[in-house]
Amino acid sequence: MRNLKGFIAYRGTAYHGFQRQSNAVTVQEVLERCLSKVLNEPVTVNGCSRTDTGVHANRFCFNVRTSSAIPCRNLVRGVNGELPKDISFLSAEDADESFHARFNCVGKEYIYKLHCSESKNPFASDLMLHYRRPLDLDRVKMGAKQLVGTHDFASFCADCSTVSTTVRTIYSFDIENCGDTVIMLVKGNGFLYNMIRIMVGTLLDVSERRIEPEDIPSILDARDRLRAGRTAMAHGLYLNRVFYSQSELTAEDTAVPCLFV
């Protein structure tokens, strides 16, 4: 029995997240159906993350066990021929028997995209948050710095009932603008439910002077969701990378890549 490690990219607009549900179409359901057809056997996919409805992924990792001997290159080609246009099979490789896309993951990196203009971008529908107000980039960057480090992020969690601890480490929170596009790049060892979207919403409140950058430490200390800002819309969020080694996770990135605009 082979254990395959694969990567996909997907536009999450039409899906109710990654994880299979009984009453809604998800990425996992579609991926498993196409893989099973090409592998000629029913398979179950283990994903690295659930992702919410409308959230996208640039490089989502999964693993799947199969008795098929099909070469990885042929598998990628065959599955891409079956997948809908909003999901792409990027690569596949044979992995160690013990590899699990979710349980072996030591960290993730997310991108949040904003189109900052009074006019909407017709090419960014459901792919960026349309933010009509002027964005105070300096204040937003000051606020983001307060979130880097190891903290209790209970104030930035929509539902903490399913986790044993709300302490997480944010290794970097970089923000850059490319024209009207603002890119927020967040890397951490784990994220709570809606954590990134609440952090982004809070930074938008910082830009609008509803919250001061220096107030964020006290918001963290409060461990109270009501103290943090709004929850930003899901369609601006992308799972960008997943990490399976601590050295890769903690490596410093020199800049936010503009290729994601």
Domain identity same for 141 and 218: yes
241 and 117 part of one domain: yes
Spot the catalytic one: 52, 126, 205, 221. 52
The CATH number that applies at residue 83 is: 3.30.70.580
Both tokens of residue 229? 């800002």
Same domain, yes or no: 112 and 8 = no
Q: What is the pLDDT of residues 30-87, one digit of tens each?
A: 999 999 999 999 999 999 999 999 999 999 999 999 999 999 999 999 999 999 999 9
pLDDT above 90 coverage of the chain, percent: 91
Q: What is the pTM of this model?
A: 0.93
Query: Which residue range is the domain that position 62 belongs to?
Result: 2-94
- pLDDT at position 258 over 60: no
Q: 52 catalytic, yes or no?
A: yes
Q: Is the pLDDT of residue 254 over 60?
A: no
Confidence class of residue 252 from pLDDT cuts 50, 70 and 90? Answer: confident
pLDDT reported for residue 259: 41
**Model confidence over 95-120: pLDDT tens digits?**
999 999 999 999 999 999 999 999 99
In a domain, 257, yes or no: no
